[in-house]
Structure 1
Amino acid sequence: MWEQLVEIDQQLFRWINNLWIGKFHSFWLFVTQIQNWFFLYLVFFFLLFKKFEKPTRYLAMVMIPVVVIISLSLTNLVKNGVERLRPNNEPLLMDSIQVLLQPENFSFWSGPSAVSFAVTTFVVHALRSRNATKWIYLFYLWPFTFAFSRIFVGVHYPADITVGMLVGLFLGWISFVLFAKMTRTLHHTA
């Protein structure tokens, strides 16, 4: 059963990865680099700063790096426990996929998926709690694009991306719940 799931995941990866062979390489390489999303993080910090008053605004802004650290730590713990080879390191796939990056660490689950979905989920819930408009859900375009870029550059399977998304959604929501409790405590003691 497990072998069948792995085979399906590899076939789906191969199909998605080969959708644009030779096309849009520059785009996917740009999208997959976290430093190219720095401006979006600045937008997140700015919106949290604008929507919250002292001292809650500082707590909201500190939560972003906390969410990143927790997501990355949990991801690395699981990756090193599962030890699934990345597609770019899988000998059975080497001749049938396009590989634009060559990371050497393990694949399951996708750190970029987990982190980007966790941060976005936290920010969206935090802004919604301050009656931000529904357009903030458009922020989810970032983690979807970022996560799927990992397939196109040859470094993550669809299951890695999917589980990373789910973990990120959960961690972002839990982070917001904790933030909301801390916020209530700050307001009661002030």
Structure 2
Amino acid sequence: MIAELQQFDTELFLKIHRGLSNEFFDWLMPLMRNRFFWSPLYLFIIVFCIKHYKKQGYYMICMLLVTFAMGDLIASRLIKPTVARIRPCNEVSLSKEIIHRVPCGSGYSFPSSHATNHFGIAVFLICLFYSRWKPILPLGLAWAFIISFAQIYVGVHYPIDTFAGAILGTCIGLFTYYLYKKFQPKA
């Protein structure tokens, strides 16, 4: 069962990584996974929360940071060293198949920290603002998805890595939103 799942994962990885290869994606996908590319969005979220929600906005930002920290801690420090799955770009059996679009990195692959962190942040923000602004649901999920997809396209994660990261991040985002509501200071 595990061997079949790994084979499916590798085949799907190659269909995305090589099969969808084109000049536009080769330019776009490395940007989508770059934390500096999204810096204006992160800054906007911070300014928006503080400007519109004052003291409560600082609490929102604090919980966003907790969401990110939990995702990074659980994915990178707990699960990755335990599972120790080699990144596809470091996998010897795939060496002739990999298109090197970004540096591979030496860390492990499962789960994707990018997927975990961005789905966690997206789900937290969706829970926070959905009642006031419905478009945040498709926009937040699309944002987290494109970052996760980019991880596969550039060759640093298998699809199951990003899928597991998305599930883990979603759970973390829901959990931190629960904490936010439970311990929310009175305005």
Q: TM-score if structure 2 supplies the norm length?
A: 0.92
RMSD: 1.5
Aligned-partner Cα distance in 1 for 2:52–2:3: 49
Q: Is the Cα contact below 8 Å between 1:51 and 1:127 reproduced in 2?
A: no
Matched, 1:168 2:159: no
* Cross-structure match for 1:66: 66
The match for 1:44 is: 45
2:89 equivalent to 1:88: yes
Counterpart in 2 of 1:8?
8
Supply the AA of the counterpart residue of 2:149. F
Q: Does 1:104 align with 2:106?
A: yes
Question: Take 1:140 and 1:45, find their aligned partners in 2: how far apart are those partners?
Answer: 19
The CA distance in 1 between the partners of 2:14 and 2:107, in whole Å, is 20
Q: State the distance in 2 between where 1:99 and 1:22 align.
A: 13
Cα displacement (A) at 1:49: 2.7
How far 1:21 moved relative to its partner?
2.6
Q: 1:123 aligns with which of 106, 122, 125?
A: 125
- Decide which moves more: 161-170 or 39-48: 39-48
Kept after mapping to 2: 8 A contact 1:107/1:160 = yes
- Aligned structure 1 segments of 4 or more residues deviating by more than 6 angstroms: none
Per-residue deviation, 1:43: 2.4
Matched, 1:135 2:132: no
Does structure 2 conserve the Cα–Cα contact (< 8 Å) formed by 1:48 and 1:127?
no
Amino acid at match of 1:59: Y
Residue 100 of structure 1 aligns with an amino acid whose one-letter code is: R
Q: Distance in 2 between matches of 1:49 and 1:134?
A: 21
Deviation at 1:124, TM superposition (A): 1.4
Identity of aligned residues (%): 28
The answer to which of 115-124 and 15-24 deviates more is: 15-24
Taking the aligned partners of 1:48 and 1:132, their CA distance within structure 2 comes to 13
**Could you give the per-residue CA deviations for residues 41-95 of structure 1, whole angstroms, max 9, x where no partner exists?**
12222333345353x2211111111111111010111001100000001111111
